[in-house]
Amino acid sequence: MGLIETAKSKDGTPIAYERLGEGPPLLMVHGSTVDRTRWGGIVTRLAERFSLYLVDRRGRGRSGDGPSYHIEREFEDVAAVVEAIPSPAFVLAHSYGAICSLEAMRLCPRIAKAVLYEPPLPVPGRSLFILEDLGRRLDRLLAKGDRAGVVEAFLREVIHMGEPELARMRNSTGWQVRLAVAHTLPREVATAYAYQFRPETFAEVRAATLFLVGGRSPVYMQEATRMASAALVGSRIVSLPGQGHAAITTAPRLFLDEVIDFLESHSGF
């Protein structure tokens, strides 16, 4: 384990991050059902090239939480950690964490480059991929103390995880982490119906940005990624052939090759 430090977010919530490696600073922002340990084996290779700042999003790991949840506080959390880094930083973010990091780019000009992997933005005119009653069902499971039921329902209905993969997940070393953060899942599901992406607010963002999308990811993920890229001047999309939403795990070499090539290029593209 590296050094654990904290940054104070705008609302006073302490946001923890683990520091590892040497080189240009790279903030890594995880998605749902996990904490900063989600990145697994790719951390070793990245730490050979970058100073890593592995954040625990609010409500998870070593980070604090607010009395009520609003996704806007998570935008501020990312910005607060970037502001705590001595020099402009790169950002690598996945899924829900990619939404938070994308929005943080409006708040924080010290983000030099960003790699955002499938931010699941709501697409205007398309029905949400989450059933409207899922949040309520997750709340009921949580109230009964069934944290495993919360995680399993989320993985089935949001990630579209099949039973064989779910069985492997239950036996993985990361399962206890997923149980520990189960209380954050109902609020993220509810946010899917409340949050609106506003492309026009990104007109002044100039950080070089690479969007990653799995070649086999659901259509809504691909549409959301295209919509996000269209809002950022000069951004581009790379499709990871044969992959879905979790190439970090299923194809780490392919994933890392794209990330490192982009972050270490002088032009950004």
Amino acid at site 143:
A
Nearest partner of 17 among 39, 33, 42, judged by Cα: 39
Q: Is-contact 263 26, C-beta < 8 A?
A: yes
CATH superfamily of 3-122+197-264: Alpha/Beta hydrolase fold, catalytic domain (3.40.50.1820)
Delimit the domains of the chain by residue range.
3-122+197-264, 126-194
Average pLDDT estimate for 44-49: 97
pLDDT at 128 over 80: no
Amino acid at site 159:
I
pLDDT tens-digit series, residues 240-264: 999 999 999 999 999 999 999 999 9
- pLDDT score at 188: 93
Q: Please give the model's pTM, rounded to 2 decimal places.
A: 0.95
Percent of the chain's residues with pLDDT above 90:
84
pLDDT at 59 over 60: yes
DSSP letter string, 48-69: TTSEEEEE--TTSTT----SS-
